[in-house]
Structure 1
């Protein structure tokens, strides 16, 4: 199982990779990523290169490239997690690649390169979080012990015609 630090590295790696798509940093990001996956053999490296080539077409043709990147980032995070599970020695090379990509990115794309989210809920609290998405939560009032519903908030209209 991967440590939390390596999982964060994989998330940052996936984010940096998709951030580079359709930028001047793309070729270096593509080549570095393909080289990383070369550890799994030449066929796997060729498959990753084909996947990268297809993904950049999606970003380039998207009416909203940011949305396309959002969709691709988790895919690359999972690919990198798998790589790190099979080849933990790739950690240093991945860290170096993420730094290289981040440094080569235009300022507008650099926001993509840090994916760190820490959420802590304690003592019967509730926590709702989304990274790059929405949280929609509905809570309905619970009944009181006697089966009655709690009083509406002050100022609320109450129908007493029962």
Structure 2
């Protein structure tokens, strides 16, 4: 939060809002500054729960942004994959999203799910 990575993440987030809701950019900039201060304080106090709650709040914001305009899916994925995900430590990167890849050949079958899956074959 106190590094160049934070500034880059902030800039990427503000740029996304600027493209989607330019009228909200000032408010988003102020909220990001507040969040940064809260995260730094939480880390100083060793309070990981506050960090998790703040991250969950921003996840909800991004979900609402996507819900309100599903056409943003590609842009949001690009921002996450190309700008924000690389800023995370490798161990934290999988928390951003899920990527599943499979290859089948011949008579093979591939079953993939992002959650529960039930397969009934006769």
TM-score grouping bracket, smaller chain normalisation: 0.5 to 0.7
The runs of 5 or more residues in structure 2 that have no matched partner are 100-113
Superposition TM-score, scaled by structure 1 size? 0.51
Task: Tell me which of 32, 37, 56 is aligned to 1:52.
Answer: 32
Alignment partner, residue 76 of structure 1: 58
Distance in 1, Cα, partners of 2:94 & 2:48: 11
Larger Rg: 1
3-state SS, counterpart of residue 107 of structure 1:
coil
3-state SS, counterpart of residue 118 of structure 1:
coil
The runs of 5 or more residues in structure 1 that have no matched partner are 1-20, 122-162
Superposition TM-score, scaled by structure 2 size? 0.65
Q: How many residues align?
A: 100
Calculate the aligned-residue CA RMSD, in Å: 2.6
Distance in 2, Cα, partners of 1:106 & 1:24: 14
Return closer, same or farther for 1:69/1:120 CA change in 2, 3 Å cut-off: farther
User: Which protein has the bigger helix share?
Assistant: 2
Deviations 1:23-82 (A, max 9, x none): 54211111111121221233x111111111100101111112532221112211221122
Deviations 1:68-108 (A, max 9, x none): 22111221122112211223232222111111211122335
